[in-house]
Amino acid sequence: MARGPSRVEGLPRVKGYEAVRAAGRDFERYSSLHQGDEDVRTYRQLPLESDPPLHTALRAFLVPFFSKGSLAPFQSHIEADARELVAPLRSGNLEVVRGVGLSIVVRTIARLLDRRGDIDEWISWGPSVWGDHDGRRDGGPLLDFLERAVDEGAAGSGGRLFNLLATTPVGGAALSRDQQIGVGSLLLAGGRDTVINLIAGIAWMVATHPHHGAALRNDYALRTPFVEETLRLVTPLGLMERIDRGPEGGDPQRSPHVGLDFASANHDASAFPCPAELRVDRPASSPHVAFGIGPHACVGAPLARIEAHAVLQELLTVAPDGWRVTHCDAQFREVDGVRLPSSFQRLVIAT
């Protein structure tokens, strides 16, 4: 079997809006009991790569970290970070991927986990936790950090999350070392390049749709549908793995693996007419699935939205007459004959 990040891309896919929504909800048939990224890790990222009952218990542990009430104290810090990071656009140019996205996600997670001393180390990995060494991925630096954080959690000095991981029974049992590493890994990895690509996507969409930029500045109510449309068009996490146990629920060890194609759902013309167009008036009856659907739907969605809105607000304030793209190094998907960005390595905008 092929190894590494592209393995899931070679699997048969569940495609289209209705099929993806149904499969995402049907966790009894579509199991998540697998381990991905075999080239860079030997542990499961949790709760992502688990099924009930462990999944249910881990989610119950994690969700309170991301509730509205828990995130409220962080909002003003996120807004202040956005203000500082977008300010260089005043003097002409701004690199959005590392200059804004990477810094804001790392600072935010560091505050949330109560580990601000780690910011420089986390930034040094680059936009992906697996690093960017000319395309070669490396799970070592993340694992070194997680080993240290789990030890500190056991000693009561690991910060909010790692202290709780060490001491809180989840589903009636203490979490193993690997399970604590798996939760920490997902929190550091899951909200990183996804949010960075959303933020870069927002900057790219405004630059390439200037009439939307003008409307967004004047009408706050348009900002939510604009961010949601950007999420749909970019779909930062386009493909996730499942094990198809079949309608009778066969043994996951012997069942075929498939890719759950969230991007195909978000670009399905039967749910989103003219799917490549950015339309802020799409009906709420067909919500996008950029944050997934069903029991594994993204826990961090409220945080991602706060970060995205904070950056959009600052961009519109600093550059009231809009901006243009002067350098774009990105991957694109073709949707309805149009190239839409899905991930960015570098994006420079200028007023």
Number of Cα atoms under 13 Å in the Cβ half of residue 69:
2
Q: Show the binding pattern over residues 303-342: x = contacts ligand HEM (CB under 6 A), - = does not.
A: xx--------------------------------------
What is the footprint of ligand HEM within residues 99-118 (CB under 6 A)? 109
Minimum distance of ligand HEM from residue 134's CB (angstroms): 26
Q: Which residues have a Cβ under 8 Å from the Cβ of 64 and sit 6 or more positions away?
A: 70
Contact 48, 37 (CB under 8 A): no
Distance of CA 134 to the CA centre of its chain: 22
Secondary element (H or E) of residue 345 = strand 338-350
Q: Which of 127, 184, 190, 213 binds ligand HEM (CB under 6 A)?
A: 190
Q: How far is residue 211's CA from residue 277's CA, in Å, rounded to a whole number? A: 13
Nearer to ligand HEM by Cβ, of 322 and 342: the residue is 342
Q: Is 23 in the site for ligand HEM (CB under 6 A)?
A: no
Stretch touching ligand HEM by CB under 6 A, among 85-93, 278-286, 289-297, 332-340: 289-297
Query: Distances from the Cα of 120 to the Cαs of 107, 117, 124, 185, in angstroms?
Result: 9, 8, 6, 17
* Min CB(125)–ligand HEM separation in Å: 15
Q: Of the listed pieces 34-42, 70-78, 244-252, 290-298, which binds ligand HEM according to CB under 6 A?
A: 290-298
**Cα–Cα distance for residue pair 267/126, rounded to 1 Å:** 29
* Sites for ligand HEM among residues 246-275 (CB under 6 A): 262
Contact window for ligand HEM (CB under 6 A) among 13-21, 85-93, 113-121, 288-296: 288-296
Task: State yes or no: residue 298 binds ligand HEM (CB under 6 A).
Answer: yes
Q: Is the dihedral of CA 154, 170, 299, 339 positive or negative?
A: positive
Smallest distance from the beta carbon of 48 to ligand HEM, in angstroms? Answer: 4
Per CB under 6 A, 47 contacts ligand HEM: yes
Query: DSSP labels for 117-179?
Result: GGHHHHHHT-SSTT--BTTB---HHHHHHHHHHHHHHHTT-SHHHHHHHHH--BTTBPPPHHH
3 state SS of 227:
helix
Report the residue from 191, 213, 259, 275 that binds ligand HEM according to the rule CB under 6 A.
Answer: 191
Interface with ligand HEM by CB under 6 A: which range of 300-308, 313-321, 323-331, 339-347? 300-308
| Nearest to ligand HEM of 181, 187 (CB atom) | 187
Q: Is 300 among the residues that bind ligand HEM (CB under 6 A)?
A: yes
Shortest reach from residue 292's CB to ligand HEM, in Å: 3
Instruction: Give me the least distance between CB of 261 and ligand HEM, in Å please.
Output: 11
Q: How far apart are CA 82 and CA 74, in angstroms?
A: 12
Of residues 20, 299, 306, 335, which one binds ligand HEM by CB under 6 A? 299
Strands across the sheet containing 30-31: 13-14, 257-261, 239-244, 30-31
Q: Which of 175, 187, 271, 316 binds ligand HEM (CB under 6 A)?
A: 187
Residue type at 62 in one-letter notation: L
- Enumerate residues 55-94 that contact ligand HEM by CB under 6 A: 59
201 binds ligand HEM (CB under 6 A): no
Half-sphere exposure (Cβ direction) of 124: Cα atoms closer than 13 Å? 9
DSSP code at position 256: P
How far apart CA 11 and CA 181 sit, in angstroms, is 27
Residue nearest to ligand HEM (CB): 300
Q: Total binding residues for ligand HEM by CB under 6 A?
A: 25
Could you count the other beta carbons within 10 Å of the beta carbon of residue 279?
A: 15
Q: Can residue 11 be called a binding residue for ligand HEM (CB under 6 A)?
A: no
Contact residues for ligand HEM, defined by CB under 6 A:
47-48, 59, 109, 186-187, 190-191, 194-195, 198, 236-237, 240, 262, 290-292, 296-300, 303-304
